[in-house]
Amino acid sequence: MMVEMIKGRIRKIDILARWGGEEFLILLPDTSLENAVYLAEMLRERLSKMEIPEAGRIIASFGVADYFSEDTIDTLVKKADDMIYKAKNEGRNCVRYMNECE
């Protein structure tokens, strides 16, 4: 249900992957940070309106990071992961993103 909703909103070139127990990655090629944050906020809002039988309401925290030429997969994932923890520490069910200044 949740995955189908996300797949229905992302493009064919985007990649949705499970990353651990309750975490997912969405890779958005050729997407600005601003558009990625917009998508994350829209998905967060839609997910927060879903109710899963036996699980109840869903909340989702999103960490968004921009790719730079010096990034490796490890540094990019770490930046996004840092933003997820920031979102969780700031009350959950929100989007946090890393810009050039951080």
Catalytic, 22? Answer: yes
Dig out the tokens for 50 from the structure: 């879903």
Residue type, 51: E
Please give the Cα distance from 21 to 1 (Å, whole number): 17
Please give the Cα distance from 3 to 25 (Å, whole number): 12
From the candidates 22, 54, 70, 100, give the one annotated as an active-site residue.
22
* In contact, 5 and 46? CB cutoff 8 Å: yes
Please give the Cα distance from 85 to 23 (Å, whole number): 12
- Residues tagged active-site: 22
